[in-house]
């Protein structure tokens, strides 16, 4: 995937860098795999704003993604690579021999017409889904389950991947995108390859309006507020600031919020990088 850098014809295009969309083969989504997506604007059921800086944005439909890949032993053919407004990665429409259509997260290098398959005894090739216990050590994977049959929950956003480092008994050791090393059951499934659209992190909106199209409202700093609005607000001249913290007073840099008694802590070998 390539990036488009614009000439500074207007202030909004001076720093604008967006994806070229040259990997996309179809602009119309599969109608049977769409469902309505209601926007909350950051409000709860009583209309009170519970998440700030959310609202507006273009109307979208949700694409139903197959995160389980549970149609085993049946080779699917990739029909299209499409844009999904609900996620940073590209999605692929695949069709099975019985006529069923499904969307999957498209890995880098997946081509139209390619065959992909899931299940046990499957070759560890790009786009194929199989248990971690059947993959060679060093394999790069994405769409990883945490519990067998749960469906993919880890390494799903653009350009991310995990690496299979070792196997110890019934557990596989994975190095995750955050840098964390943890154990996952070898019966859990993952998809071979890295997630598509790796240049997503390099994109620059160029103007505030483009952020508004994505449903993001202006985000102002705590130090620019009054003392009644934020712990870091107020002050005369250069006196504003203080210890970086959230609006509720929770420290923002280095303060651990993870529950010490969390059951899955015993599966984490190395914590993520600070």
Looking up residue 55, the CATH number of its domain turns out to be: 2.40.50.140
The token pair at 205 is 């909106």
Report yes or no on 104 lying in a domain: yes
Q: Which letter, b or e, does each residue of 69-82 get, where b requires 16 or more Cβ atoms within 10 Å of its Cβ?
A: bebeeeebebbbbb
User: What is the number of other CB atoms lying within 10 angstroms of the CB of residue 226?
Assistant: 9
State how many domains the chain has: 1
Provide the residue range defining the domain that includes 90: 3-200+266-270
Report yes or no on 220 lying in a domain: no
Write out the chain's pLDDT in tens, 274 residues: 589 999 999 999 999 999 999 999 999 999 999 999 999 999 999 999 999 999 999 999 999 999 999 999 999 999 999 999 999 999 999 999 999 999 999 999 999 999 999 999 999 999 999 999 999 999 999 999 999 999 999 999 999 999 999 999 999 999 999 999 999 999 999 999 999 999 999 999 999 999 999 999 999 999 999 999 999 999 888 788 889 999 999 999 989 999 999 999 999 999 987 6
What is the rounded distance in angstroms from the CA atom of residue 85 to the CA atom of residue 145?
24
User: How far from each other are the two terminal CA atoms of the chain, in whole angstroms?
Assistant: 30
Report yes or no on 97 lying in a domain: yes
What is the rounded distance in angstroms from the CA atom of residue 174 to the CA atom of residue 133?
12
Report yes or no on 133 lying in a domain: yes
The token pair at 217 is 């409202």
Report yes or no on 207 lying in a domain: no
Report yes or no on 13 lying in a domain: yes
């Amino acid at each position: 995937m390539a990036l488009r850098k614009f000439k500074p014809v207007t202030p909004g295009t001076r720093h604008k860098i967006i994806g070229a969309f040259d990997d996309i083969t179809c602009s119309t989504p599969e109608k049977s795999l769409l469902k309505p997506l209601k926007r909350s604007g950051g409000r709860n059921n009583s209309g009170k704003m519970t998440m700030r800086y959310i609202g507006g944005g273009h109307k979208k439909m949700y694409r139903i993604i197959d995160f389980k890949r549970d149609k085993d032993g049946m080779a699917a053919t990739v029909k299209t690579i499409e844009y999904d407004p609900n996620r940073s990665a590209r999605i692929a429409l695949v069709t099975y021999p019985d006529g069923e259509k499904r969307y999957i997260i498209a890995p880098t290098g997946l081509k139209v017409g390619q065959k992909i398959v899931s299940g046990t005894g499957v070759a560890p090739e790009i786009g194929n889904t199989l248990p971690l216990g059947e993959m060679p050590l060093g394999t790069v994977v994405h769409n990883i389950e945490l519990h067998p049959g749960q469906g993919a929950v880890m390494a799903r956003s653009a350009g991310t991947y995990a690496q299979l480092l070792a196997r110890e008994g019934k557990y596989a050791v994975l190095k995750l995108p955050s840098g964390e090393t943890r154990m996952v059951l070898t019966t859990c499934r993952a998809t071979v390859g890295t997630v598509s659209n790796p240049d997503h992190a390099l994109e620059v909106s160029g103007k505030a309006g483009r952020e508004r199209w994505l449903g993001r409202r202006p985000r102002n700093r705590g130090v620019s507020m009054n003392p009644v609005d934020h712990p870091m607000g107020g002050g005369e001249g250069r006196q504003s600031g203080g210890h970086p913290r959230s609006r509720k007073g929770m420290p923002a840099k280095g303060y651990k919020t993870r529950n010490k008694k969390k059951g899955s802590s015993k599966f984490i070998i190395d914590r993520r990088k600070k």
